């Protein structure tokens, strides 16, 4: 659910800090089995770090607060993030995804006939 929420926030232009903390065993296994550069869907869609990710030992209240305060106080950092969120929104496509999918399915069905 947290990945979906981060994408919803990105679409709504809400600056954010991502933090994930799981059991050490889960983290150990995940790092070996899942080969992606980022943990958050926002950064995965962008293909670069748009939002800060605080994972495991970095996901502590002090570091989360520091990263959040930087977004609040630093206009340039917030502006960079908002530009990145706009890029993510563009990659995801605008409203009407269901209609576009239906048209594509219909076009494919017609071409197969």
Q: pLDDT tens-digit profile of 49-81? A: 999 999 999 999 999 999 999 999 999 999 999
Q: Give the 3-state secondary structure of residue 107.
A: helix
Q: Give the pLDDT of residue 40.
A: 92
Q: How far apart are CA 52 and CA 50, in angstroms?
A: 7
Q: Percent of the chain having pLDDT more than 70?
A: 96
Radius of gyration of the chain (CA): 18
Q: How confident is the model at residue 110 (pLDDT cuts 50, 70, 90)?
A: confident
Say if CB 17 and CB 71 are below 8 A apart. yes
Q: How confident is the model at residue 113 (pLDDT cuts 50, 70, 90)?
A: low
**pTM for this predicted structure:** 0.78
Please list, in sequence order, all residues whose beta carbon lies within 8 angstroms of the beta carbon of residue 44, skipping any fewer than 6 positions away. Answer: 36, 37, 38
Please determine, for residue 23, whether its predicted confidence score (pLDDT) is greater than 60. Answer: yes
Lowest mean pLDDT among 14-23, 68-77, 85-94: 85-94
CA 88 distance to own-chain centroid: 8
CA 72 distance to own-chain centroid: 19
Q: Tokens 């706009």 sit at which residue?
A: 86
- Round the average pLDDT of the chain to a whole number and report it: 89
Question: Burial level of 13, CB count in 10 A (0-12/13-18/19+)?
Answer: exposed
Residue 57 per-residue DSSP state:
G
């Amino acid at each position: 659910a947290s990945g979906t929420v981060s994408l919803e926030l990105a679409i709504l232009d809400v600056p954010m800090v991502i933090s994930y903390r799981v059991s050490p065993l889960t983290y150990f296994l995940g790092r070996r089995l899942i080969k992606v550069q980022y943990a958050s869907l926002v950064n995965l869609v962008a293909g670069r770090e748009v939002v800060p990710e605080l994972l495991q030992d970095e996901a502590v209240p002090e570091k989360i607060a520091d990263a959040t305060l930087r977004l609040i106080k630093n206009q340039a950092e917030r502006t960079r993030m908002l530009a990145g969120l706009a890029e993510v929104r563009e990659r995801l496509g605008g409203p009407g995804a269901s209609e576009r999918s239906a048209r594509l399915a219909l076009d494919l069905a017609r071409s197969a006939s």
